[in-house]
């Protein structure tokens, strides 16, 4: 019943901005953390940003100062605001969350991915 749905990707010019969203739905008891990863063709999937249930946030060096993570607890949704985008930010972006369901079982869930392309 639990799933993550991503949205917000698209094509932007260098220096532009996008906001990605990751919405969790289902019978959710707790979200321990939510993270954003990205994967470019031929490269590994790398962590770019994430926050814990306690509100601690982390960013990779490549996006620090340009990307900002936020959340709306009432909507079980995380947002990744991406500013000053560069061509090297081009990738498929995935959200990941560790979610405890109402029955007490927990698991890690992945969103379906959303394409971000930065090109002139």
pLDDT of residue 73: 87
pLDDT tens digit sequence for 43-73: 999 999 998 777 788 999 999 999 999 989 8
Q: Report how far residue 51's alpha carbon sits from residue 81's, in angstroms, rounded to the nearest whole number.
A: 14
Give the three-class secondary structure for 75. Answer: helix
Burial of 85 (0-12, 13-18, 19+ CB in 10 A): buried
Contact at 8 Å (CB) between 15 and 120?
no
> If you average pLDDT over every residue of the chain, what do you get?
94
pLDDT of residue 1: 77
Q: Which residues of the chain fall short of a pLDDT of 70?
A: none
Q: Report how far residue 22's alpha carbon sits from residue 77's, in angstroms, rounded to the nearest whole number.
A: 5
Bridge partners, 1 (sequence order): none
pLDDT of residue 83: 98
């Amino acid at each position: 019943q639990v799933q993550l749905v991503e949205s917000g990707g698209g094509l932007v010019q260098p220096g532009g901005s996008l906001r990605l969203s990751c919405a969790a739905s289902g019978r959710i008891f707790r979200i321990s953390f939510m993270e954003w990863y990205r994967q470019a063709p031929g490269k590994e999937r790398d962590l770019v940003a994430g926050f814990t249930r306690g509100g601690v946030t982390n960013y990779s060096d490549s996006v620090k100062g340009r990307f900002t993570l936020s959340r709306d607890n009432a909507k079980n949704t995380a947002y990744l605001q991406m500013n000053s985008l560069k061509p090297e930010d081009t990738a498929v972006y995935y959200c990941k969350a560790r979610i405890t369901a109402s029955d007490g079982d927990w698991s890690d869930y992945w969103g379906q991915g959303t394409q971000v392309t930065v090109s002139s």
